[in-house]
Amino acid sequence: MTNLVLPSYPKVVGVHPNLDWPAYGGTKFRHPLHAPIDLPQRLTEVTGPLLGEGRLGEFDNDLTRQHDGEPQGQRIIVHGRVLDEGGKPLPATLIEIWQANAGGRYRHVVDNWPSPLDPNFTGLGRTLTDDQGRYRFTTIKPGAYPWHNNDNAWRPAHIHFSLFGRAFTQRLVTQMYFPDDPLFFQDPIFNSVTDERARQRLISRYDHSATTDHWALGFEFDIVLRGPSSTPFESHEDDDE
């Protein structure tokens, strides 16, 4: 009998939003009413898809070069590292992003507010982190946009991020915001993260060292995924079948 020793990912407490969040109307009929059942972490949970290079196209990490012309708007560089809670970088992990154009409009059939589409901007990107967990996108700064949640409601400018990490437990979909956005106070999605320090982790940092003269402004956004416990992991290689 193989002696299975698995990594263990301690629960993350007080960071993620409560699914029942009345200020965001969309949650009303979509949050489960039953308390979630505890799922022990076993093989299926501590493993996960390791999706590689085959998923990437040449300009997937440069959203300004996916069309014949350049998109309208402020060119920016968004870069950072993907780490786990122990500070360990996550190499070769897939990151997917999507965003509105400079006027705050998504290239999506259900987004039809009167702001123009940009023929030179699709608004989606993909990349893999390097061996230090670093990633880098070139894009344009997305605009704020109105939505129907409540009267005169506007989403602060944001970029959606989707990450896999290396285990099912680590899967994360989030949004990156920009520093000093005046719309934070009225946004129920941003404010669904009730812990002030956790909420600040959703905001990128203006990074002058990444700003490129006469080209683009730099923003740094590190992403921390749930991490395995720091208890030494015993590999039990000689127990292999």
Partner 1 sequence: MSERLGCTPSQTVGPFLHIALPWPDGPFVVPEGTPGSFWITGQLFDGNGDPVIDGLIEIWQADPDGRFDHPDDPRGATKPAIPGFRGFGRSDTDAEGRFRILTVKPGATPTTDGADEAPHIDISVFARGLLDRVVTRLYFPDETAANDADPVLASIDDARLRSTLIASPSDDGGLRFDIHLQGAHETAFFEL
The yes-or-no answer on residue 9 being catalytic is no
Q: With binding defined as CB under 8 A, does residue 81 bind partner 1?
A: no
Q: Exactly one of 77, 90, 103, 106 binds partner 1 (CB under 8 A); which one?
A: 106
Which of 103, 104, 123, 143 touches partner 1 (CB under 8 A)?
Answer: 123
Catalytic residue among 145, 166, 177, 226: 145
Among the listed residues 24, 79, 105, 106, the single catalytic one is: 106
Which residue shows structure tokens 């940092």?
Answer: 205
Of 81, 105, 158, 166, the active-site residue reads 158
Identify which of residues 141 and 226 has a Cβ nearer to partner 1 in the complex.
226
- Using CB under 8 A as the criterion, what x/- string covers residues 219-238 for binding partner 1? ---xxxxxx--x----xx--
Q: Which two tokens stand for residue 88?
A: 């360990």
Distances (CA, A) of 187 to 147, 158, 161, 201: 10, 12, 18, 16
Under rule CB under 8 A, which residues in 22-51 are in contact with partner 1? Answer: 24, 26-34, 36-51
Binds partner 1 by CB under 8 A, chosen from 101, 127, 169, 204:
169
Q: Render 69-120 in DSSP notation, one character per residue.
A: SPPSS-EEEEEEEEEETTS-B-TT-EEEEEE--TTS--SSTT--SSS---TT
Q: What is the DSSP letter of 14?
A: S
Q: Site size for partner 1, by CB under 8 A?
A: 91
Residue 123, phi-psi category: left (phi > 0), alpha (psi -120 to 50), beta (remainder) = left
What string marks each residue from 188 to 217 as x (binds partner 1 by CB under 8 A) or -?
-xx-xx---xxx-xx---------------
226 is catalytic: no
- What are the phi and psi torsion angles at 224 (to 5°)? -110, 120
Q: Which is nearer to partner 1, 63 or 216 (CB)?
A: 63
Choose among 8, 158, 173: nearest CA to 94: 173
User: How far is residue 231 CA from its own chain's centroid?
Assistant: 28
Which residues are part of the catalytic machinery? Answer: 106, 145, 155, 158, 160
